[in-house]
Chain A
Amino acid sequence: MIADALHLLNRLGRRTVMAVDALGYAAGLLGEAVGFVVSGRRRGQPVRLQAVVEQMRQVGVDAIPIVLLLSFTVGLMLAIQFIATLREFGAQSQVVLAVAKSVTREFGVLITGILVAGRSGSAFAARIGSMSVSQEVDALGVMGIDPVRYLVAPALLAMLVMLPVLTVLADAAAILGAAMYSAPMLDMSVQTYLTQTLSQLTPRDVYEGLAKSIVFALLITVIGVATGFSVTGGAEGVGRATTRAVVLSITALIVADMVFSFFLNR
């Protein structure tokens, strides 16, 4: 009995130590990457613009179609639900406000974050993981090319720029999706719906989403690359790490989102 309990406690202790270790490691990586962005050039380890642009294309531009499509769909879905619910109170016209606020503050950035975590968080983990396994990361190191500067910093910069951009696009697509359904239901033109949306939105609504998108960008990048660098155990290890990166980063996004919403809407 006692032995079992001790064993369990022991395991729990080890797990906790491992989790704290991993957090420390991820924070260290983030710090290093930011360091290279700030002072890499002075130290002879510049973050290359070309690499950043290439990453921006991969994490940002290439994701635009799917982000637009999903956001549009979610916007439409929200409109259907809101109208059905609000109709019961005879407050159908409030759908404009409800959609505008919930999309800009919450759904636009969350959909974008989850999509990018699935696309790019996994790509970071897979790329760095397979490079670790094949000693490419070691090779970069001994060539005097810091792997964090070369692999992590461009990804981080690209994510910090592109996630807010994608979020704004997602907001627009979702509101348009909602307009497509709501406008006919409210006997107004799509154009009127959009004008009303703009007049009811405050800058703060949009900022809330954008602030979240910055935090999401940090989380997705750090979790992806940290998981990648920690890969052991060959190709199978890379596969496991990829899955782990996606699950971990989506979990982190949702928890962070909840915390954010709680504090910003008190």
Chain B
Amino acid sequence: MNETNAPLIEVVGLEAFYGRRRILHGVDFSVNRGEIRVIMGGSGSGKSTLLRHIIGLQRPVSGTVRILGVDVGRAGAQELLAVRRKLGVSFQGGALITSMSVGDNVALPLREHTQLDETTIRIMSRLKLEFVNLGGFHDLMPSQLSGGMIKRAALARAIVMDPELLFFDEPSAGLDPVVSAELDELILRLRDALRMTIVVVTHELESAFRIADRITVLDQGDILTTGTVAEVRASENERIQDLLHRRPRSVEVDVDDYLRRLTEEDA
């Protein structure tokens, strides 16, 4: 088995549904060790849904998802927990535990998964807070933080166990350009300094171009292309060019579908 060359994430033929609505259409996706992969696409294109399947929060209806060599869809609870200790996730809304201070949030994985003493835990969690430029904010409660601070605190919590794989959902959504650029810097430093493999979901072009080694463009549940920044920019695909130039998409209506939607009793 060749550890170094096997992709860390391998998604094959993934289909996802919410009720009867098909969200992902046979998605194939793989990420190699050490790269920053950006999943880019308009709002509602299924980026978060793909991410939730990769980290095992949703099980695939069909298709397979493997991360770090484990089939997430078929793994038992124990196996899944073991894999999850090796990955960090920063959610779209931060998802800090509201009843805990920032410091306790960051320290939580250490308290739960290690036998370290309290002093070591405190030092390690404060180091990570320093890393995301939140030094000295450990006593604040999540409700006292601004949007950018929440994202950074969530990032600190995601990396406190030094994961091999980091997922970041919408790092720059709802932030001003300066704060969003700072977050991009942090992500680049994580790859260079800590050698993490990072998957970033975003709909912000600028941020995607700044940090990506390769970009996967997702559009209404289909992967349009995967390539370097230059390749994506040069793509001939009309939908990609629409996305890059912020053109509204031209909606084509299928008459049969349209009539069915209007007349159907329950969706």
Interface residue ranges, A against B (CB under 8 Å): 43-45, 130-131, 134-136, 138-146
Residues of A within 8 A of B157 (CB): 143
* Pairs across A and B, CB under 8 Å, 18 listed: A43-B78, A44-B81, A134-B95, A135-B91, A135-B92, A135-B93, A135-B95, A136-B96, A138-B91, A138-B95, A139-B89, A139-B91, A139-B97, A144-B85, A144-B109, A144-B113, A145-B109, A146-B81
Query: Which of B78, B81, B87, B108 is the most central at the interface, judged by chain A CB atoms within 10 Å of its CB?
Result: B81
* Interface contact B84-A143, CB-CB below 8 Å: yes
Query: Which of A45, A135, A139, A140 is the most central at the interface, judged by chain B CB atoms within 10 Å of its CB?
Result: A139
Given A143-B108, A144-B109, A138:B57 Cβ within 8 A: yes
* Interface contact A143-B98, CB-CB below 8 Å: no
Q: Is the interface of B mostly helix, strand, loop or mixed?
A: mixed
B137-183 contacts to A (CB < 8 Å): 157
CB distance from B52 to the nearest CB of A (A): 8
Residues of B within 8 A of A146 (CB): 77, 81
- A127 closest partner in B (C-beta): B99
* Interface contact A143-B93, CB-CB below 8 Å: no
* Interface contact A141-B57, CB-CB below 8 Å: yes
* Interface contact A134-B98, CB-CB below 8 Å: yes
Residues of B within 8 A of A145 (CB): 108-109, 112
- A146 closest partner in B (C-beta): B81
Residues of A within 8 A of B95 (CB): 134-136, 138-139
- Picked from A134, A135, A141, the residue with its CB within 8 Å of the CB of B84 is A141
B46-67 contacts to A (CB < 8 Å): 52, 55-57
- B83 closest partner in A (C-beta): A144
- A133 closest partner in B (C-beta): B93
Closest 9 CB pairs of A and B: A139-B95, A135-B95, A144-B84, A144-B85, A142-B89, A144-B81, A135-B91, A143-B109, A136-B95
B103-119 contacts to A (CB < 8 Å): 108-109, 112-113
Q: A140 to B92, alpha carbons, bound, how many Å? A: 15
Residues of B within 8 A of A135 (CB): 91-93, 95
Residues of A within 8 A of B56 (CB): 142
- A44 closest partner in B (C-beta): B81
Residues of A within 8 A of B89 (CB): 139, 142-143
* Interface contact A45-B91, CB-CB below 8 Å: no
Residues of A within 8 A of B84 (CB): 141-144
CB distance from B214 to the nearest CB of A (A): 24
Residues of B within 8 A of A140 (CB): 97
Q: A143 to B82, alpha carbons, bound, how many Å? A: 10
Residues of A within 8 A of B52 (CB): 138
- Picked from B57, B81, B87, the residue with its CB within 8 Å of the CB of A45 is B81
Q: A145 to B111, alpha carbons, bound, how many Å? A: 11
Q: A136 to B98, alpha carbons, bound, how many Å? A: 8
CB distance from A38 to the nearest CB of B (A): 15
Q: A43 to B52, alpha carbons, bound, how many Å? A: 25
CB distance from A259 to the nearest CB of B (A): 34
Residues of A within 8 A of B108 (CB): 143, 145
CB distance from B126 to the nearest CB of A (A): 19
